[in-house]
Structures are given as structure tokens and as C-alpha cells.
């Protein structure tokens, strides 16, 4: 069993053009910076990206967009990116907007072997279009399908060589859900340790869900909205 | 005088009860956290995966791994917990969050809400708003009573694409406090200096004035 | 916000006869010993108990059975208990057998606000009887309903006064799932600490799911199958 | 000579591949762990919430909080992880467990399995067996070829209540190794000293002998 790869280039080596990728993160928090850089370098296009957001101009998935590698985004919020808007309005880019909780739960459903889930979000709105509606106990639910993704690319704080992952703070977000959902799951971590160095009770994603792991480098971890208070 | 944003937030803060778990949306709702009454302990939920959101960090102590749903740097408090996005919306759907406060572009007299999309404008996405309004057990909308053109945002029927149906229970606008009932909007309080006549004139949806209507205390 | 109660008696004070209870644990591992003792003392009967197992003679849920307090068990495996067998054969006790993964997932569904889930277990077997069957991608699934329970009673290793819980090793099992699923959730813990003493990244059950918490005492933590190897 | 239990386990262990995640049921399957070939690293899953099950603890080191699905005290290994029962069966359903080995009372020629219930006997419950057989991508059954009365347990159709349908892919019995195919049981190997005639006589379901059938190596 060897899940460790040398770097992001090796981790994404066989991702083909036209693949469906899940990319972890919320805004720019907890995004797989190294793998995104390698995907940009690799230049494969026609990607379908499932990710809560689409990065910003010049960072995160924004880099893939600028490089015209993305055919379709499946996201809940894409408002931070001018290039995204340009491509969308020009028809170069497709977008499927999914309520955030639905997006998260459809990832989890995949990882838990559930083909579909009933969720309330979007009932009575345009999100309902084309979906089965069902009533349980007087409330209405939409039948939402589990995602089918070729690769899931996530970023963790720590990981061990067996693929066990630990996330830090709100950088957890979609990462463990997507990690469960990839046919092949790639994890980049800030610190790669030996098996046994992480307390088995603290592991968020068991290694069984992770196929490739490497220690990333040069994390910028850009802050989108720097808000502070004054001392005193 | 219509309320300013801080006053709207302050009035909503009076709705908080000790022990409440609360989700505050972006904009005016965020300001509610500044006016939590003394002796009332609430836990703020941020739907990107945190219970127990604290204030902004001191300068120099920002952590890129610790943000709220508005992508702002924040802090934790003793007793905070982190979780993934599925659990976050799971607890919302299961009714564990006691109160959700969010903004709206339009609310209809039956409690429909529109706050995510304007036709012909760039669509940014619904984020977590549809999940929140579909499942929260108690939703208060914080909003201006009229749009910049002076048109009522409390309508018989929303004209914009909906975020959720029949879900808003209460509105605090710059003009007053309103319950949303089976019988339409019911004005419970009016802002200091605002007349019932002004409220009537600026409310397009069905409006009743509560028998015990009173001036708001803010 | 005060979730802390003095002891198990206070925690279960208002559980009425006829209530539906979830009880955490797998076998005798991670069971809420203190609350079970208080329920026995309280003597309320006609209980419906959702629990993976039914204890053993003289311990765990076995104590409630001996005291004739249980009307119905909803479990996946009940083979360790002679009194259980006697009551079942005599018709005093009802039992609903649920596949273990289905039992766990129906608890999770409740805690995640999902009214029902599609699961493969039991397709083509008697577990399917009376259930909707649906095909997704060529596989067959049963529609299984989320549980509706009045109280969930769980046992954690550590907890803080805001109700945050941490479980130890395989004593986690059903506990965090049931903790999410109770209309009122009661947690007994081996060690109750102040808020902030548990790393927020290590919390398994966020306090929002827990309504009452107390530090239990005199844990026996009986071992069902003591298996050891010789030092060599 | 028919195989003994250890030999059945030993033969199944030959099916293990490096990197496999494996769930071993109670009984003969548990013994498979004792015969994992050198150089093959597998991770054992215990469906009560553990990946990386280690050996029994040394006497005096038993921990009531650390048991396997058979309720036996066990240990962890470097790289072990704990999780709740929903995630445990989630990973099974999602096909992340490479191999499941379990016992059976009956297997039918189309791969149905019965191993949980005997009419008129006390029903103990299916535990996790139905979840495992419904979702595991690769199931090997470890069993005696015949019941104590000498009747075949490889049948045209199961007579006992089913645990799962059309799910068993391979059987290792005391008499041989069998694939379960669209064309029924296919004998791939026979136990040393066991004749094809004996296998034919003791197999009630449709049986084909593979052209390259060979003696088992254990």
C-alpha cells in the first residue's frame, strides 16, 4: 500500500481533459492550492468543477478559469470573480447553482453510498425545476442525486502516509465530504506524518477514502475578507 | 424617523433568548451580534462549519483557516466546535438552530422570500440561503421597508425569483416590526416617529395593524 | 444556557412511560450506564428502545428488560440475552430487527433533517416487506425512514458544560448519531470539563445537539468477550 | 481430506492483495487475519467503527472501549482510525471496502446468501450482515460445504430467509474453491484428497467444473 506521491504534479498526473473534479474549500479557505497550480500547469480543459465557490480573480479556481480550463462550475456562490462573470455572460462557461447545504449533502451521499437524498432546500423555487418533489410529515422535499465525480481534490492540515486526514478550523468545510466522494481522492496536506502520529480519535477522514497524499508547499492561504478589531 | 441599520439590528437583538443558537446572515443581520442583551448567552452558528463564533481577531492575529460564512476572519470562543458543511446544514435542517436572521429583497404576505437573484443581473448564487429558509424553525428578516425607488418590499406576491416559500415569520424593517401570519402582515410595532399611515402607504401586501400596536423601543 | 444537571436521576426526570428512547452503545461498549440505572430505579414502563443491542442478562438494557420496562426493542442484534429471548417467545416483548447500517443511518438522517434515506441493505429479504423499493443506476434500494425519538441517551468519554462531546475509541459507535437524533438528548460523560478545555477540532458532537449533560460515576464498563494474547 | 477451519481461512487469505481494506465476519473469517501472506499489507475494518484492527491485547491491557464487531477486546495499529457506525457502513456501501469475508448457512447458485435466521429458532438479528452483503463489492463466503446432516449448503435456491440477493462472488468451503457465476457454481479448486465426484455429490446447485480445475494449495 503506497499512497504517498512526491508532489501535486504526480498526484494529478492522470486527470484527463473533460474530467469531473471536486475541489474542497469554502471561499479561499482550505483550498488545494498545490493541485490547482498543477492543473493549471497541465492545462487540461473541459473540466467540470464541483466546488462551493469559484475562487477569485488570480487565485484558487480563478486560475483555472482564466486559463479557460473549466467548462462547467457546480457551486453555491460564485460572486467573487470578474472573469467568471465574463465567461458566464459570453456563454463560454456553464454554471449550475446548488444550495450550499444540498451541495454538501450530495457529496456526503456519494461517500456514504446513498444514491439520492430528500432535502427541503429549494422547494417552491427554480431549484425545484425537473426534480421529484415528495411530502413527508407535511413538509416538501426535493429528491437530490448523489454526485458522480472522477477525482476529489482536498486540502487537509495534517495527514499520515495511510491517508488519514485532519482538518483545521473552518478549513474543514467541504473537504472531508469531497474526500469521501471521489472515485480517486487526492489529498494535499500541510504536514505529512507517519502512521500512528495522529490520535485515531482525532482523524476526520479515515485513510480508506484517500488514494493519494502528499505534503504541499508554499501555501499562500490568502484571506478574502481581512476583518480585525482594535486592541484596547 | 425610520430606523437606521444599527437600530434594526438592535431591535432584532431583543428577540434573542438565553441559550439560543443563532445564524446571522450577511449585512444587517451580522450587526445583531453587537447588541446581544446583557445576561443573554447565545451561540452563533456560521454555516461554513462553526458553532461559537467570536469577534474579529486583533490585528495581526488573523488566521486564514478561521473565517465565517461571509469569508471574514473571525475568532472562536470557549466551547466552540468545528464541523463539516454537511453537519452544519444538517443541524439547520434538523431544527437545532433556534433563530435565523437574514436580509431580503422581497417578502410576500404568505411568508415567501426572495433574496438571491435579480433577473438580467449577474447571478452570484444562493449560497446557504435556500437551505436556511427552507429548514430554519424561526426566521426573522431584517430589511428596508422599501427599495431605492421607494417601492414596497412587503408584497402580496414576490416578483423576484424565490429563495423559499412560506417561511418568514417576522420582519423588522426600518419602519416597524411585523409578524407574517396566515392573514398577511401584522404590524406589531412602529419605529419612533413613523406613522401608521406611512406604514400602510409603504406596504403593498395585505396589512393588519395589531390592536395593541406600540412604538418600538430601541 | 444551563445544560448541566446533577446526575442521572435529574437527567431522566421527565421521561414518561411509553416514551421512545435511543440508547447509545454497541454491545456493552459505550452504553449510558448511569442513565440506565436511573431508568430502572424510576421504573417507567412501556418503553420503546432503539439500541443496536439489548444488553446482557444483568447488565445494560438487560436491566430494563428484567424489570419489564421495555415494550419494544428496535435493534440489529439481540442474541446475548436469555431474558430477552424468554420475553420475546412469551409475547411480552416486541422486537423490530433492523440491519445495523440502516439503524445507524436512520439515526443520522434524523439528526441531519433528512426524512428518509435510500439504502441497499435488506433488498430481496424480509426486511424489504412493506417498504418502497427503488432502482438507481441498476441497483435496488429500500426507502428507510428517519427515526422519531423523544429522548436520546448517550455516553461520551469527555464533555464540556456547553454539551460538546468527545468519544473514545469504538465506544463512539452509535452515540454521536443518536445524540443528533433526540428531541431531547441526554449525555453522560466520564469527565465533565469547562468550555474551552476540549480542542474545538476534536469535538465529535457539537453541543447544539445536547440538551442535558452530567458527569457519571462508578462506571463498570463491563467487557463482553475478554480476548487476550500471551506475551511472547 | 476436507479442509479444517484454519485451512479454509488460509486459502481465503491467498485472495488478499496488498492495500486491501477487508472486513472479516465472525467465525472462520476472523481466522483469515492469522494467515495474511508476507509482504501483503491489508487494513482490517471492524464495522462498529474502526479501521486498522490489531491483534488481541496482552493480558491486563484489555480496554472496554476498544472492541471489534464480535465484541472481543482488540488493539489498534499505527494508522488506525475510529468513526461512528454511520460512516462505517457508509464506507462499506460506497464500495471502499475491497473484500468482505463472511460465513453462510446457505448460498444459492445465483449468489443469494442466507446466514441470519432459522425459522422456529430464536432470531438473534442480522447485525451488519445485510448491509455488508448488499453493498460490498467483493464477497467471499467461508463455509462448510454441507450441514451437520450432510446436506449441501450450495443450493439451487436458498431455503432459509435470505440475507442478501445475488451478491456472493466466491465460496471457499472445506471441499474446494468456487466462483458464483451467471452459470451457477464453478469449481476452480478441490481440496487435497477430495474428489470431483464428492464435490458433485455434495453440491445441490448447478455446478460446472472449470476446465483448468486444480488441487488447492494450502
- When CB atoms are compared, the residue of A113, A200, A209 closest to D76 is A200
Decide: D73 and C228 in contact? Cβ < 8 Å.
yes
- When CB atoms are compared, the residue of C118, C120, C167 closest to A116 is C118
Contact (CB<8Å) C78/D125: yes
Contact (CB<8Å) C174/D85: yes
For the record, the C-alpha cell of D52 comes out as: 486498522
Task: Classify residue B71 by burial, with Cβ atoms within 10 Å: 0-12, 13-18, 19+.
Answer: buried
Sheet holding A139-145, edge to edge: A133-136, A139-145, A116-119, C116-119, C139-145, C133-136
B59–chain C nearest CA distance, Å: 22
**Which among D20, D79, D99 is the top mutation candidate for probing chain A, defined by the most A β-carbons within 10 Å of its own β-carbon?**
D79
Interface of D with A (CB under 8 A): 18-19, 21, 41, 43, 45, 51-52, 76-83, 86-87, 89-97, 135
User: Which residues of chain B does A88 touch, with a Cβ-Cβ cutoff of 8 Å?
Assistant: 122
CB atoms < 10 A from the CB of B149, how many?
5
Cα–Cα distances (Å) from A188 to A23, B47, C108, in that order, read 11, 24, 29
Mention every residue, 6+ apart, whose C-beta is less than 8 A from residue D77: A195, A196, D52, D53, D54
C200–chain B nearest CA distance, Å: 4
Whole-model pTM: value is 0.97
Contact (CB<8Å) A195/D41: no
Active-site choice (B6, B15, B38, B47): B47
Confidence at residue C89, expressed as pLDDT on a 0 to 100 scale:
87
Has residue A1 got a pLDDT over 80? no
B26–chain A nearest CA distance, Å: 13
CA dist A76 and D193 (Å) reads 65
CB atoms < 10 A from the CB of C92, how many?
12
- When CB atoms are compared, the residue of B86, B112, B124 closest to A78 is B124
What value does the mean pLDDT take over residues C121-149?
Answer: 97
Stated as kind and residue range, the H or E segment containing B142 is: strand B139-143
CA dist D127 and B199 (Å) reads 63
User: Which residues of chain D does C205 touch, with a Cβ-Cβ cutoff of 8 Å?
Assistant: none
Decide: C147 and D183 in contact? Cβ < 8 Å.
no
What value does the mean pLDDT take over residues A142-151?
Answer: 98
Confidence at residue B1, expressed as pLDDT on a 0 to 100 scale:
85
Has residue D166 got a pLDDT over 90? yes
Has residue A89 got a pLDDT over 90? no
Using the Cβ of A130 and the Cβ atoms of chain C, whether some distance falls under 8 Å is answered with no
Radius of gyration (C-alpha) of chain B in whole angstroms: 17
Q: What b/e string do you get for D145-178 counting C-beta neighbours within 10 Å, with b at 16 or more?
A: bbeeeeebbbbeebebbbbbbbbbbbbbbbbbbb
Has residue A19 got a pLDDT over 80? yes
User: Which residues of chain A does D80 touch, with a Cβ-Cβ cutoff of 8 Å?
Assistant: 200
Has residue D120 got a pLDDT over 80? yes
- When CB atoms are compared, the residue of D49, D92, D166 closest to C173 is D49
User: What pairing do the DSSP bridges indicate for beta strands A149-160 and A20-23?
Assistant: parallel
Contact (CB<8Å) D130/C29: no
Contact (CB<8Å) D43/A162: yes
Decide: A77 and B126 in contact? Cβ < 8 Å.
yes
C146–chain A nearest CA distance, Å: 11
Decide: C52 and C22 in contact? Cβ < 8 Å.
no
pLDDT band at C31 (very low <50, low <70, confident <90, very high): very high
What value does the mean pLDDT take over residues A138-143?
Answer: 97
Has residue B147 got a pLDDT over 90? yes
Decide: A142 and A131 in contact? Cβ < 8 Å.
yes
Cα–Cα distances (Å) from D37 to B124, B192, D43, D50, D170, in that order, read 56, 82, 13, 22, 19
CA dist C205 and C76 (Å) reads 23
Provide the CA D105 distance to its chain's centre, in angstroms. 12
Summarised one tens digit per residue, pLDDT across range C53-95 is 999 999 999 999 999 999 999 999 998 888 998 998 899 999 9
Choose between B205 and B137: higher pLDDT: B205
B7–chain C nearest CA distance, Å: 26
Q: How high does pLDDT run on average in chain C?
A: 97
> Nearest 10 degrees: CA dihedral of C93, C94, C96, C97?
40
Active-site residue D47, yes or no?
yes
Confidence at residue B119, expressed as pLDDT on a 0 to 100 scale:
86
Task: Classify residue A62 by burial, with Cβ atoms within 10 Å: 0-12, 13-18, 19+.
Answer: buried
CA dist C25 and C153 (Å) reads 10
Contact (CB<8Å) D79/A114: no
Confidence at residue B123, expressed as pLDDT on a 0 to 100 scale:
83
| Strand runs labelled E in chain A | 20-23, 47-50, 70-75, 94-97, 116-119, 133-136, 139-145, 149-160, 165-166, 182-193, 212-215
Q: What are phi and psi of A153, to 5 degrees?
A: -120, 115
Has residue D121 got a pLDDT over 90? no
CA dist D181 and D208 (Å) reads 10
Confidence at residue B137, expressed as pLDDT on a 0 to 100 scale:
85
What value does the mean pLDDT take over residues B67-96?
Answer: 97
Amino acid at each position: 500500500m503506497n499512497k504517498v506521491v512526491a508532489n501535486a504534479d504526480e498526484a494529478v498526473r492522470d486527470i484527463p481533459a473533460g474530467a469531473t473534479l471536486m475541489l474542497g474549500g469554502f471561499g479561499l479557505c482550505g483550498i488545494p492550492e498545490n493541485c490547482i497550480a498543477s492543473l493549471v500547469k497541465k492545462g487540461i480543459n473541459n473540466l467540470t468543477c464541483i466546488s462551493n465557490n469559484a475562487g477569485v480573480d488570480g487565485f484558487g479556481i480563478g486560475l483555472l478559469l482564466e486559463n479557460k480550463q473549466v467548462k462547467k462550475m457546480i457551486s453555491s456562490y460564485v460572486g467573487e470573480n470578474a472573469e467568471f462573470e465574463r465567461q458566464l455572460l459570453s456563454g463560454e462557461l456553464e454554471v449550475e447553482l446548488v444550495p450550499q447545504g444540498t451541495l454538501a449533502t450530495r457529496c456526503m451521499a456519494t461517500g456514504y453510498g446513498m444514491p439520492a437524498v430528500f432535502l427541503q432546500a429549494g422547494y417552491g423555487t427554480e431549484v425545484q425545476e425537473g426534480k421529484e418533489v415528495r411530502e413527508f410529515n407535511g413538509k416538501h422535499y426535493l429528491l437530490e442525486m448523489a454526485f458522480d465525480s472522477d477525482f476529489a481534490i482536498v486540502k487537509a492540515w495534517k495527514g499520515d502516509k495511510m491517508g488519514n486526514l485532519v482538518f483545521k478550523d473552518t478549513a474543514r468545510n467541504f473537504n472531508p465530504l469531497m474526500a469521501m466522494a471521489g472515485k480517486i481522492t487526492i489529498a494535499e496536506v500541510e504536514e505529512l506524518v507517519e502512521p500512528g502520529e495522529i490520535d485515531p480519535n482525532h482523524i476526520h477522514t479515515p485513510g480508506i477514502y484517500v488514494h493519494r497524499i502528499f505534503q504541499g508547499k508554499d501555501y499562500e492561504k490568502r484571506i478574502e475578507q481581512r476583518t480585525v478589531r482594535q486592541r484596547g | 424617523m425610520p430606523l437606521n441599520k444599527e437600530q434594526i439590528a438592535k431591535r432584532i437583538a431583543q428577540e434573542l433568548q438565553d441559550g439560543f443558537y443563532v445564524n446571522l446572515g450577511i449585512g444587517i443581520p451580522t450587526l445583531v451580534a453587537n447588541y446581544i442583551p446583557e445576561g443573554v448567552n447565545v451561540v452563533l452558528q456560521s454555516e461554513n462549519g462553526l458553532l461559537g463564533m467570536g469577534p474579529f481577531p486583533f490585528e495581526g492575529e488573523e488566521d486564514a483557516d478561521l473565517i465565517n460564512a461571509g469569508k471574514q476572519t473571525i475568532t472562536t470562543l470557549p466551547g466552540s466546535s468545528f464541523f463539516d458543511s454537511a453537519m452544519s446544514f444538517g443541524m439547520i435542517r434538523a431544527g437545532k438552530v433556534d433563530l435565523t436572521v437574514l436580509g431580503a429583497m422581497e417578502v410576500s404576505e404568505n411568508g415567501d422570500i426572495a433574496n438571491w437573484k435579480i433577473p438580467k443581473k449577474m447571478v452570484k448564487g444562493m449560497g446557504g440561503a435556500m437551505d436556511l429558509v427552507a429548514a430554519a424553525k424561526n426566521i426573522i428578516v431584517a430589511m428596508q421597508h422599501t427599495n431605492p425607488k421607494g417601492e414596497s418590499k412587503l408584497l402580496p406576491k414576490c416578483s423576484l425569483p424565490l429563495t423559499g416559500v412560506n417561511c418568514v415569520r417576522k420582519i423588522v424593517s426600518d419602519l416597524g416590526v411585523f409578524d407574517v401570519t396566515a392573514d398577511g402582515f401584522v404590524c406589531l410595532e412602529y419605529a419612533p416617529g413613523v406613522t401608521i399611515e406611512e406604514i400602510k402607504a409603504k406596504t403593498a401586501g395585505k396589512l393588519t395593524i395589531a390592536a395593541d400596536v406600540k412604538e418600538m423601543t430601541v
